[in-house]
Amino acid sequence: MGNRVRGLLLDLGHTVWDIKLSADDWLGAWRRIHGRLRQLKGDRVPPPEVLYREVWERILGRRLAYFRARGYRELPPELLFAEAFDRLGLDLPRTFYRECLETLARAELDTTCVAPSTGAVLAEIRGRGLKVGLVSNTMYPAELLRARLDELGLRDHFDVLAFSSEVGWRKPHPAIFQFALDRLRVGPAETVFVGDRVYEDVGGALRAGLQPVLTHQFRQEDPPPGVPVIRRLAELLELDAVLTGLRPPWACGVAPGEFGPDVGRPEPPGSQ
């Protein structure tokens, strides 16, 4: 790989791993939450389908409205759960809201999977001297994502893991990218960022001064002019070829402000 690239940052959901969460998986998680709620409040609690509609859809609506207004802080999920359950007249211990979050996180994370070559690709990239990191938007606790990366044999392939639930800033804000760059000790101009979303990933990389690459391995959004596309992570082993002949996108008429926050919606449950 050329000397101009010293760092590689990647998004997580639909980039490093795919998410196969089904409606049945999600409803099963809400049934578990319902069971726990009955232990706390007895039989007179809403059924799982009503909980989903009155709690989760309200939380999603609150988050999406905030993000569309270009709010870049990660909203505290326990607070959002508390607000939604309060509207149902249910006064619950704060620990219950954390249980809800962890139940939903595990339901989603249990469905994540990676291509068989992913570990080998990441190991080869690091073996060539590049620093490698993750930058992920997620409401889920960082320790659960680290544990899942461990289970999939991927955690040791990254020099830094930057989760918005831990850093406090979400893509496309430059702060979460800078958090990772500081720990890799590389500059933005010598770093490539790979992600599946145009607004958060391409737009965020441009705002932070990184070279964006859009992946179509698991999701497909139309690439802006000047932004290269890969169809599998293994193409990063030929990163020079991916980037050959391209001027930086910010010199090709692409500006972060061109990407609106409605691109690619709706978001998956945990917004990784």
Does residue 208 contact residue 22 with C-beta atoms inside 8 Å?
no
How many domains does the structure of the chain reveal?
2
Distances (CA, A) of 44 to 34, 37, 89, 142: 11, 10, 12, 34
Per-residue CA distances from 22 to 44, 130, 238, 270 (Å): 28, 36, 34, 13
What token pair was written down for 223? 């690439």
In this structure, are 94 and 131 located in the same domain?
no
Which tens digits make up the pLDDT trace of 54-66? 999 999 999 989 9
Q: Are residues 104 and 154 in the same domain?
A: no
Question: Is residue 240 classed as helix, strand or coil in its secondary structure?
Answer: helix
Provide the pLDDT for residue 68.
Answer: 87
Q: Are residues 72 and 188 in the same domain?
A: no
* pLDDT value, residue 250: 46
Same domain, 99 and 123: no
- 266 falls within a domain: no
Per residue in 124-146, pLDDT tens?
999 999 999 999 999 999 999 99
Contact 176, 188 (CB under 8 A): no
Low-confidence ranges of the chain (pLDDT < 50): 1-2, 250-254, 262-266, 268
Instruction: Check residue 115 and report its DSSP letter.
Output: -
Q: Is residue 196 part of a domain?
A: yes
Residue 252 is predicted with a pLDDT of 44
Residues 14 and 78 in one domain: no
CATH code: domain of residue 136: 3.40.50.1000
Percent with pLDDT over 70 in the chain: 89
CA atoms 105, 269, 192, 135: torsion sign: negative
The verdict on 132 and 212 lying in the same domain is yes
Choosing from 56, 78, 109, the residue where a domain stops is: 109
Range of the domain at 158: 7-19+112-258
Q: Residue 195's beta-bridge partner residues?
A: 214
Residue 200 shares a structural domain with residue 87: no
Asked if 219 and 121 sit in the same domain, the reply is yes
Percent of the chain residues past pLDDT 90, beyond the cut: 81
pLDDT for the residue 226: 86
CA angle 145, 150, 155 (to 5 degrees): 85
Q: What single string gives the DSSP state of each residue in 24-83?
A: HHHHHHHHHHHHHHHHHH-S-S--HHHHIIIIIHHHHHHHHHHHHTT--BPP-HHHHHHH
Domain-ending residue, one of 82, 109, 136: 109
Q: Are residues 32 and 158 in the same domain?
A: no
Same domain membership, residue 150 and residue 168: yes
- Amino acid at the residue 89: G
User: Within a domain: residue 269?
Assistant: no
pLDDT of residue 260: 56
Give the C-alpha separation, 270 to 105, whole Å. 7
Q: pLDDT value at position 43?
A: 87
Q: Residue 241 to residues 6, 10, 228, 270: CA-CA distances in angstroms?
A: 16, 18, 10, 33
Q: Are residues 158 and 59 in the same domain?
A: no
Is beta strand 211-215 parallel, antiparallel or unpaired with respect to 7-10? unpaired
pLDDT at residue 247 in the model: 52
Residue 126, domain member (yes or no): yes
Q: Which of 172, 146, 159 is nearest to 9 (CA)?
A: 159
Per DSSP, the three-state class of 136 is: strand
Q: Is residue 271 assigned to a domain?
A: no
pLDDT of residue 177: 98
Per-residue pLDDT at 82 = 95
What is the pTM assigned to this prediction?
0.89
